[in-house]
Amino acid sequence: MSEFYQFVYRVRGLLMIPPCAVLVFVRLRETEWDTVLWSVGLLIFLAGVGLRVWAQMHLHYRLHIHKKLTTTGPYAHVRNPIYIANTAMLIGLTVISELLWFLPVMLAWCAVVYTFVVRREEAHLLEKYGRPYADFLASTPRWLPRLHGRDTGPIRVRQFLWGSVVAELHCFLWLLPLILKELWF
């Protein structure tokens, strides 16, 4: 595995700071349609948070529970729902920032960063889980969800709902700088 992929994986959260700094500190060519943009942007952002919560209910990443190969919930439809959710949240933040011209830049930034991150993750998970993960890779799309997933049987995820919501509350901190920007200017 490339050291570069390992580095990008380790700093993946930090790599989202530069484009988010643009959203906060740049006011060039803002689209002043506050009510509509904040409403649409919040809907997109909340859809991303909702997808993260749904994925968390199955993945248990921040829930301090023994990890296993996850192929249920959103993982029955797509391999990377967390990164798709992050991208939706960042697109929502871009709309909220009123910098609509920056949407393609944000989308491209996410595509590049998450492509490197996913390559490292997939190599690691293939090594960790072996053949079952190879089968998952072969049967589940990386980025574009299929409309119907495979039958995964009954899953008891309600017990993880509250913990998953609490684990993902930090996502709302990304809104704070944009709220302050709106109040300040």
pLDDT in tens, 14-26: 999 999 999 999 9
Intervals of the chain under pLDDT 50: none
Residue with tokens 């349609």: 33
What's this model's pTM, rounded to 2 decimal places? Answer: 0.90
Quote the pLDDT of residue 154.
52
Q: Are 96 and 102 in contact (CB under 8 A)?
A: no
Quote the pLDDT of residue 155.
58
Quote the pLDDT of residue 59.
85
Q: Going by C-beta distance under 8 Å and a sequence separation of 6 or more, which residues neighbour residue 168?
A: 49, 52, 53, 56, 62
Q: Give the start-to-end residue ranges of the domains of the chain.
A: 3-184
For residues 92 and 51, what is the distance between their CA atoms, to the nearest angstrom? Answer: 13
Q: Are 95 and 44 in contact (CB under 8 A)?
A: yes
Quote the pLDDT of residue 145.
87
- Packing angle between helix 103-129 and helix 3-10, nearest 10 degrees? 110
Q: Which CATH fold would you assign to the domain 3-184?
A: Four Helix Bundle (Hemerythrin (Met), subunit A) (1.20.120)
**H-type helices in 2-102, by residue range?**
3-10, 17-25, 34-59, 81-96
For residues 23 and 30, what is the distance between their CA atoms, to the nearest angstrom? Answer: 10
For residues 107 and 174, what is the distance between their CA atoms, to the nearest angstrom? Answer: 17
